[in-house]
A and B are shown apart, each in its own frame.
Chain A
Amino acid sequence: MARYVAIWLVLLVLTGLTFGLAFVPTGPWSMPLALLIASAKSLLVAVFFMHLIEQGATNRIVAVVGVLFLALLSGLMILDVAGRPLSQ
């Protein structure tokens, strides 16, 4: 039980960090930094709150494959759009 409260506190600290960074001029790094912290928070939620830590490899593979597909599909789409010439 104390473990869940500890995870919640870590999540709040990371939330505060994300909020604080919004007021620091980080330029082109603001988006990657925010996404990195969001990913860390999501990992904590999935591993502890969603009990991935106590479940078998099958469930872990399904979860990882879902995230991998998302990264692949949206990542390639965004790269394609970013790489196009700017003429309208």
Chain B
Amino acid sequence: MPGSRLAEHFGDLQTQHHSARLGMWIFLSSEILLFGGLFALFGSYYVRYTAEFREAAHHNTIFWGSANTFVLITSSLTVALAVWALRHDEPQRAKRLVLATILLGVVFLAIKGIEYRIHAHEGLLPGHHFDSQKLHGHGAILFYTLYWFMTSVHALHLTVGIGVMSWLVLGIHRRRVDAEHPIALEVGGMYWHLVDIIWIFLWPLLYLVR
């Protein structure tokens, strides 16, 4: 049913797909600026409280944070392979790869939950709730306030991504998304990759600068 897939204001599917990709890039650019505010704040406080920020990052859960980097980068691979499989008319394979992506996303959130529990136990909480035995000073409080803010906004994005991927599994299953019309998986994948890129920057800032 190519007729029903083509919106009436487009001449052909190729043009429609092109503008979907362009629209996604514009949306992702606005997303970059949303996180940009937080990155700018982090950078500003980092240059003011460099020693305290490094000390705070030193106390972060480096093992779990780094495990999550591996999980998210691998999930980006499964998305890219899913797009490849769908383009090559292998919908079953694409579906399995998208399901693997969802699973990796859930693993990421679970690990994030473990980390949050450890932080809560150690009193590394945002703002006035900060009550650590080991870390002191205004810089440490700012670091963990930003840590909670940045990672929770990121986790929220990932949760939305898991929702999008679940909807895409259904789409591939019902053949609404297939080799001729893979665009929904492509732009959904682009969103997933951006969430990965945000983490690629959050990881060294929050765990490794020590």
Interface residues, chain A, with chain B CB atoms under 8 Å away: 1, 4-5, 7-8, 11-12, 15, 18-19, 21-22, 30-31, 34-35, 37-38, 41-42, 45-46, 48-51, 55-56, 58-59, 62-63, 65-67, 69-70, 73-74, 77-78, 81-82
Contact = CB atoms under 8 A, between A and B. Distances in A.
B28 A74 contact: no
A81 B207 CA distance: 23
Interface stretch (B5-13, B70-78, B144-152, B160-168): B70-78
B64 interface: no
Tell me which of B36, B46, B74, B194 has the highest count of chain A C-beta atoms within 10 A of its own C-beta: B36
B70 to A, nearest CB: 7
A62 B26 contact: yes
B124 to A, nearest CB: 19
A85 B69 CA distance: 37
Given A34-B208, A70-B39, A45 B193 contact: yes
Interface residues of B, number: 47
B84 A4 contact: yes
Chain B interface, >50% SS class: helix
A31 B39 CA distance: 13
B33 interface: yes
Interface in B62-100: 62, 66, 69-70, 73-74, 76-77, 79-81, 83-84
B154 to A, nearest CB: 14
A51 B70 contact: no
8 contacts: A1-B84, A8-B73, A35-B201, A62-B29, A63-B25, A74-B39, A78-B44, A82-B48
B47 A81 contact: yes
A8 B39 contact: no
A11 B79 CA distance: 15
B52 interface: no
B127 interface: no
Interface of B: 18, 21-22, 25-26, 28-30, 32-33, 36, 39-40, 43-44, 46-48, 62, 66, 69-70, 73-74, 76-77, 79-81, 83-84, 186, 189-190, 193-194, 196-197, 200-201, 203-205, 207-210
Contacts of A56: 18
A70 B186 CA distance: 24
A42 B200 contact: yes
A78 B193 contact: no
A66 B200 contact: no
